[in-house]
Every structure is written in structure tokens, then in C-alpha cells.
Amino acid sequence: QVQLVESGGGLVQAGGSLRLSCIASGSIFSINAMAWYRQAPRKQRELVADITKDSSTNYADSVKGRFTISRDNAKNTVDLQMNSLKPEDTAVYYCQSRVLVPTITGLRENDYWGQGTQVTVSS
């Protein structure tokens, strides 16, 4: 099995910064894409940013220029640096990874999610 554990959420004033971290552990052959999603109250979960194994990145329009996603393939970690935070960034943030896991019949690609970390931005 594979576990993803996020850290770094909290309460911050508008204009402030937070850094989220996520570490993947368990039966991992390799990790392909990694991503951060968020879900605000009464809204659907949405993609914030993702990053490929070779560090190509993609961002939601709402966070471009303010958030930066990065990863360390050797440590199986993905971070999200969030600057110039706005109240509308308030949400539970989830780490997601597309992981190649070894099985009896060979490698299989599965998606795994962390438990989520709360980010609250006060105005």
C-alpha cells in the first residue's frame, strides 16, 4: 500500500504565505504525476497544480503567479508554496499522486490521496 501525508496547513492573513508538503511512502516503484487539489465548503474538488516526473507544471488560472509546485523525486515529496493568499483560497488541500506499484503480475498504476490539510485565509 501507499500512504500520502500532508503537512503545513493553517491559518494565515490575506497576503500571507504558507507552504504545504506531502510525502509518499509504502510500496512505490516510481511516481508519475503529483498534484495538489482543494475543496472549499459546498464546492467541488478542483485541481490547483500538478507536476510531471520531469517537473513540467500546470496551474489553475486562479493561482497562477502566486503558487508554485515542486517535487523531489528522490524523497517522494511534493510541495506547494502559496504566496499572496486570498480568502477565496480557503479550502482543504489534498495531495494526489499517480504511483507505479509492484504487484505479483507486474507494475500497476494507481492514484492515491492524502487525508487533506486545512488552509484558512482571513481577510
Residue 4: the pLDDT is 98
Per-residue pLDDT of the chain (123 residues; tens, 9 = 90+): 899 999 999 999 999 999 999 999 999 999 999 999 999 999 999 999 999 999 999 999 999 999 999 999 999 999 999 999 999 999 999 999 999 999 999 999 999 999 999 999 999
Residue 57: the pLDDT is 98
CA separation, residue 82 to residues 10, 14, 55, 121 (Å): 12, 11, 18, 11
Q: Are 99 and 33 in contact (CB under 8 A)?
A: no
Residue 68: the pLDDT is 98
Q: Are 95 and 114 in contact (CB under 8 A)?
A: yes
Best CA proximity match to 95, nearest among 27, 21, 28: 21
Residue 14: the pLDDT is 98
Measured CA to CA, the distance from residue 50 to residue 72 in angstroms comes to 13
Measured CA to CA, the distance from residue 46 to residue 123 in angstroms comes to 22
